[in-house]
Structure 1
Amino acid sequence: MPLISTIAMIDPAFCTAESVSLWTRSTSTLLRLLMHPQWVLPLLLAWIVLPWLLKIQRRKWLYSGTGVLLLLAYGFLGSPLTINLGERFLARSLPPDSGQSTQAIVILGRGTELRPQRVETAIALWQAQKNQSDGKAPLIFASGTGDAIEIAEMLKAKGIPESAIDGEPCSRTTEENAQFTAALLQPRGIHRILLVTDLPHLRRSWLTFQSLGFEVIPHASPLSPDLSERRTALLVVRECLGLVTYGLLGRYEPRTVTEMPIAIAASARSRFGVRSVPADHR
């Protein structure tokens, strides 16, 4: 049974089911496949061996050699070296979190496995800002379908007051995270945010949110200790590709919010009402 939030955020019924891009669907499917060596390795070994078993006379060396190269690449992609090099590339140019106060802490959803680390990170940041600001604390805003409502309930269960929690359960991509967050927070005068997500995802998220007019302080939450080395490496590789792809799509240049998030945000404001400025969340 789906979780029904008691926190006043956008009703999921307001969300529109537009198709996710071919790139997102393809990379997600490929990532899920590559995380299962019990499927991938037999396929690659068959690629190498079958030309010889079938006695293919032409180009069997080419077919087998290609299979060997793919096998070596698959081994490299799941290695600690891939994680190290990829994270260095993804962390480049990220500004440090100096601890300055912000108007909102935005948590990006990333699935069940990484949810607890994000919640704990956000709570620690929220408490630190509250202590530094004589009891004033920023709004905690959760973004992502399948994550926002669950994160909000976890925050509430950890003692964060409902008045300090908000979010949107509509977005399915980093681009939509930024679009919906901007549509809901900027009309309330919230422009300076602390952005919480895992390190591989952080640079792309930071640049995307910044392009929509936010002053963004990026803050990395730890990856789950239960995440396998191979899955971590493939996550890093996917984020490297995503970072380049978003750049080619122009998503780091200054832009305005698109019509769909604005329309959904307007519907939500008319139903729930919205504070014009962040409240003093004591």
Structure 2
Amino acid sequence: MISAQAWADTRRLWDYHQMGHTVRPCSVAVGLGSHDLGVADAAVALYKRGMAPLLVFTGATSATTRVRMPRGEAVHYRERAIELGVPSSAVLVEPRARNTGENVQFSKALLEEAGVEVSSVLLVSKPYEERRAYATARKAWPGVEIISASTPMTLNEYVDSIQDARLVIDMLVGALQRLLIYPEQGFMIEQRVPADVLEAYERLCREGFTSRLLTTDKPST
């Protein structure tokens, strides 16, 4: 049973993780690979709205996607985009990246090799990964405007789509931890974390929502 306080704290983290950027036309949309085909759907929706003339899907496989996406996350995303009506000529695939930093670095290299001039990027991720993706891209792709985007949905809608409330909370907590520790490791730019968000994170850690924390820095419970 998840307490009312835990839900309130989860909503604080959910709201913080979303950047609230206004979407506008960009040079390219980059969809970050994951278990969630909703990222591909969101990228396709942006393409159909004329927000980007080209889609890049990036991602290999991981322990959580190997069975569901045996051909690789980026390949499955591409197949989904074509299924939804995007011409194959408007989709590039980066099939090697295994983390967010590599997603950005390898996509940047792919576009350079293809001769695509990039001044702005629509960075498409899961809703709770918007801020982490943004902070990573700002570090790895300097000089390019980054606009974070995801499928518009509420926390309740996302929980319903995953069908595992505890896992969703664990993922939100894990994403916040990385925002706290990765800047010192050089993986992303620093993001200001408001006191109420930090307090919510610490309470959720004490409540045991820790399965997605890095074990080297797992807070005591």
Aligned counterpart for 1:102 among listed residues 26, 30, 39:
26
The share of aligned pairs that are identical, in percent, is 25
SS of 1:138's equivalent in the other structure is coil
Q: 1:219: Cα distance to partner? A: 0.8
More helix by share: 1
C-alpha distance in 2 between matches for 1:158 and 1:252: 33
Extract structure 1 runs of 4+ deviating beyond 6 A.
Answer: none
Structure 2: how far apart are the matches of 1:138 and 1:203?
A: 24
What is the CA-CA distance between 1:110 and the residue it aligns to? Answer: 1.4
Q: Are residues 1:149 and 2:79 paired?
A: no
* CA–CA distance in structure 1, aligned partners of residues 46 and 6 of structure 2: 32
| RMSD of aligned alpha carbons | 2.5
SS in 2 for 1:129: coil
| TM-score (norm. length: structure 2) | 0.68
Equivalent residue runs for 1:238-277 within 5 Å: 238-253=174-189
Question: Which residue is 1:191 aligned to?
Answer: 119
- The residue type paired with residue 123 of structure 2 is L
Shift of 1:252: 2.9
Is residue 79–residue 229 contact of structure 1 (8 Å, CA) maintained in 2? Answer: no
Question: What does the per-residue CA deviation read over 1:123-161, in whole Å, with 9 as the maximum and x for residues that have no partner?
Answer: 21111116xxxxxx5101101112100000111111110
Q: In 2, distance between residues paired with 1:95 and 1:118?
A: 17
- In structure 1, the gaps of 5 or more residues are 1-73, 131-136, 254-282
Does 1:82 pair with 2:9? yes
1:157-194 deviation per Cα after TM superposition (whole angstroms, max 9, x unaligned): 11110110012111111111111111112453123110
TM-score (norm 1): 0.55
- The answer (yes or no) to whether the contact 1:140–1:165 under 8 Å persists in 2 is yes
Q: Which runs of 5+ in 2 are unaligned?
A: 61-71, 190-221
Equivalent residue letter for 2:8: L
The CA deviation at 1:95 is 5.1
- Contact 2:33 / 2:74 at 8 angstroms: preserved in 1? yes
Q: Offset at 1:119? A: 2.2
Q: Within 2, Cα distance between the matches of 1:225 and 1:180? A: 33
1:171–1:177: 8 Å Cα contact kept in structure 2? Answer: yes
One-letter code aligned to 2:146: V
For residue 169 of structure 2, the aligned residue among 233, 250, 264 is 233
Q: Secondary structure at the match of 1:218?
A: strand
Partner of 2:134: 206
Question: 1:167: which partner in 2?
Answer: 93
Determine the structure 2 residue equivalent to 1:177: 103
Question: 2:149 is matched with which residue?
Answer: 219
Rounded Cα–Cα distance in structure 2 between residues aligned with 1:152 and 1:224: 25
- What residue in structure 2 maps to residue 39 of structure 1? none
Instruction: Classify 1:129/1:218 alpha carbon distance in 2 versus 1 (closer, same or farther; 3 Å).
Output: same
Against the structure 1 CA distance between its residues 160 and 83, is the aligned structure 2 distance closer, same or farther, given a 3 Å change threshold? Answer: same
Structure 1: how far apart are the matches of 2:149 and 2:131?
10
Aligned position for 2:45: 124
Question: What residue identity is the alignment partner of 2:149?
Answer: H
Structure showing greater Rg: 1
Change (3 A) 1:244 1:82: same
Q: 1:226 to 1:203 in 2, by over 3 A?
A: same
Q: Deviations over 1:36-63 (max 9, x none)?
A: xxxxxxxxxxxxxxxxxxxxxxxxxxxx
Whether the 8 Å CA contact 2:41–2:80 is kept in 1: the answer is no
